[in-house]
Amino acid sequence: MNLVVLSPNWLGDAVMALPAIADIRRHFAQARLTVAARGSVASLFTMVPGVEVVLTLPGRGGLAALRTWRQDVTALAADGFDTAVLLPNSWASAYIVHRAGIAERWGLATDLRARLLTRSAPKPRGAAHQAGYYQALVAALGIENGPAYARVQVPQGTENPITARPYVVLAPGAAYGSAKQWPPARFAELAVRLAKNGQAVVLVGSRADAATCQAITRETGAASPESVTDLSGRTSLAELTAVLAGASAVVSNDSGAMHLAGAVGAPVVAVFGATNEHRTAPLVNGPDAVPPRILATDVWCRPCMLRECPIDHRCMTGVTAEAVASATMAIVQRS
């Protein structure tokens, strides 16, 4: 069997899909397993045990797929796949594997695409966590589910640019929108508290997070000079895994960095606001991993799942730096 799995497009979703991909790998042990993914997440799968080939899809996701689908069809058709498992729910993902001539096309019967699939399953009901949603699909295909662990390995030869030890990573970004972000001023206050407890602080994020990280660095620097290293926009995904894996703890919003931290085995402290921690809490990478510590406020309006808060962002401002520092140092002191 020459099998391709189409990945979700967001980093966090891609990490939460790893248990389902591991299920597929075990079930089809003799198959050649390729993961096809957008360029933003493709390098993740080069670090996932059991994935033999990673195919970077040249097209784009979302509405842009309407303009770029032919590029994806060409890329998929070139590898001679006989079976495709679709983890995204989109109609476009089913259309491109159909047009690529892949004989077996398996996925959920969502987005009016059932006619494009050769095996379809109804949308799962009652799957509490997003990882369970993906695993429900493979179970409906007759594939036994294993444990919901997400495992990512730091590539051999990847150097950790951080030499100070010990250190805590702060990931203040959230690509989905500001409603998911704990205020930068709180991250700065947390950084000062951690520095006073002997922890160096490392800020990580994409180029889009650079302004936020710079603001945190400025606020922190006045109280704790030389205590903060800002790596926002300066690491590849492989280098980021090395930084996360070496951390005493990782403090993050609900973001791709949070999910990646859990998958490399870092202890995670996650601050949740607009989103639902029961659906997207970080997975761990094995039975001996430190469980994530989740901090959230019990306010009437959460989880709202909005990108921007229309009122006063009380779900996030209600989480204090003192509470996050206490949870973080409890993890650090256990290790």
pLDDT confidence of residue 223: 59
Which residues have a Cβ under 8 Å from the Cβ of 262 and sit 6 or more positions away?
15, 150, 268, 282, 283, 284, 285, 289, 292
How far apart, in whole angstroms, are the C-alpha atoms of residue 145 and residue 126? 16
167 in Cβ contact with 247 (< 8 Å): yes
Count how many Cα atoms sit within 13 Å of the Cα of residue 317 in the half-sphere of its side chain: 5
pLDDT confidence of residue 126: 74
Angle at 313 between CA 312 and CA 316, to 5 degrees: 145
Question: DSSP states of 252-269 as a string?
Answer: EESSHHHHHHHHTT--EE
Amino acid at 103: A
pLDDT confidence of residue 163: 87
Distance of CA 245 to the CA centre of its chain: 15
> Which tokens is 116 given?
């494009």
User: What does the pLDDT average to over 87-108?
Assistant: 96
pLDDT confidence of residue 125: 84
Give me the percent of the chain exceeding a pLDDT of 70.
96
281-314 residue pLDDT tens: 999 999 999 999 999 999 999 999 999 999 999 9
β-bridge partners, 270 = 252, 294
Of the candidates 74, 122, 73, the residue with the CA atom closest to the CA atom of residue 93: 73
Question: Domain map of the chain by residue range?
Answer: 2-140, 167-334
Render the burial of 196-214: b for 16+ CB within 10 Å, e for the rest: eeebbbbbbbbeebbebbe
More confident residue, 24 or 228: 24
pLDDT confidence of residue 115: 95
Burial class (CB in 10 A: 0-12, 13-18, 19+), 270: buried
How far apart, in whole angstroms, are the C-alpha atoms of residue 244 and residue 202? 10
310-332 residue pLDDT tens: 999 999 999 999 999 999 999 99
The model scores a pTM over 0.85:
yes
pLDDT confidence of residue 175: 79
Topology alike, domains 2-140 and 167-334: yes
In CATH terms, the fold of domain 167-334 is Rossmann fold (3.40.50)
Number of Cβ within a 10 Å radius of residue 50:
15
pLDDT confidence of residue 91: 92
Give me the percent of the chain exceeding a pLDDT of 90.
86
- Sign of the C-alpha dihedral, residues 36, 41, 46, 50? negative
180-238 residue pLDDT tens: 999 999 999 999 999 989 899 999 999 999 999 999 998 887 656 568 999 999 999 99
User: What does the pLDDT average to over 139-152?
Assistant: 97
Give the chain's mean pLDDT.
93
CATH of the domain spanning 2-140: 3.40.50.2000
How far apart, in whole angstroms, are the C-alpha atoms of residue 269 and residue 267? 7
Strand 32-38 and strand 200-203: the pairing is unpaired
pLDDT confidence of residue 131: 97
Of the candidates 52, 31, 40, 32, the residue with the CA atom closest to the CA atom of residue 13: 40
Which residues have a Cβ under 8 Å from the Cβ of 285 and sit 6 or more positions away?
149, 150, 151, 152, 262, 263, 264, 265
User: What does the pLDDT average to over 246-273?
Assistant: 97
User: What does the pLDDT average to over 62-66?
Assistant: 66
